[in-house]
């Protein structure tokens, strides 16, 4: 069966050092604070490093999804990559990158589906962007306040 690779990135400049942002977003326990679709995380309350695993209770429009993640790359404070598998869209790769920028650090969140069964619709991409913008704004607010 043919698959369609999909990649989507969103970024924001946060007035904070890269390490502070890195420590916040690579601790999956923080995800429900900033990502609306992430409801509960089972793991230690700390940033996850290479080889660490954690469990996420996630939601889609069709219902709850349980995801088992593994960290496949961790280069503090510049890069973090997590991998999980789903039955409905195949593997999901979440990549967080951090670069110096005027006013702080540019945080980029990239999601990949390397073996998606079909391309996402325009409406699905719009909803992804809405959630990503909200999530990035939540991260910015929480990190800059801390």
Rounded distance between C-alpha atoms, residue 114 and residue 85, angstroms: 11
Q: Mean pLDDT across the stretch 53-68?
A: 88
CATH number, domain of 104, equals 3.30.530.20
| Tokens coding 30 | 């923080």
Tell me which of 59 and 69 has the higher pLDDT.
69
Report how many domains make up the chain.
1
Q: List strands edge to edge, sheet with 53-60.
A: 4-14, 104-116, 91-101, 79-85, 63-75, 53-60, 38-42
Residue 1 clears pLDDT 80, i.e. is over it:
no
The model carries a pTM of 0.94
Checking DSSP bridges between strand 4-14 and strand 104-116, what pairing results, if any? antiparallel
Q: Are 63 and 3 in contact (CB under 8 A)?
A: no
- How far is the C-alpha of 58 from the C-alpha of 15, rounded, in Å? 29
Q: What is the pLDDT of residue 60?
A: 75
Query: What average pLDDT score do residues 71-99 get?
Result: 97
Q: Which of 94, 90, 77 is nearest to 35 (CA)?
A: 94
Task: Provide the residue range defining the domain that includes 51.
Answer: 4-145
> Is the separation of the CB atoms in 31 and 38 below 8 Å?
yes
Question: Residue 63: which pLDDT band, with cuts at 50, 70 and 90?
Answer: confident
* pLDDT (tens digit per residue) in 121-132: 999 999 999 999
- Looking at the predicted structure, is the pLDDT value of residue 36 above 90? no
């Amino acid at each position: 069966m043919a698959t369609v690779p999909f990649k989507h990135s969103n970024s924001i400049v946060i007035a904070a050092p890269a390490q502070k942002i890195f420590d916040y977003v690579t601790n999956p326990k923080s995800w429900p604070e900033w990502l609306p679709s992430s409801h509960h995380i089972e793991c230690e309350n700390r940033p996850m490093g290479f080889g660490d695993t954690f469990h996420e209770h996630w939601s889609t429009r069709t219902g709850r999804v349980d995801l088992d993640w593994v960290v496949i790359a961790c280069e503090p404070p510049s890069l973090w990559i997590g991998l999980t598998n789903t039955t409905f869209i195949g593997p999901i790769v979440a990549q967080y990158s951090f670069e110096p920028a005027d006013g702080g650090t540019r945080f980029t969140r990239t999601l990949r589906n390397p073996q998606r069964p079909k391309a996402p619709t325009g409406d699905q991409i719009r909803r992804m962007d809405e959630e990503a913008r909200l999530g990035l704004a939540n991260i910015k607010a929480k990190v800059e306040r801390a």
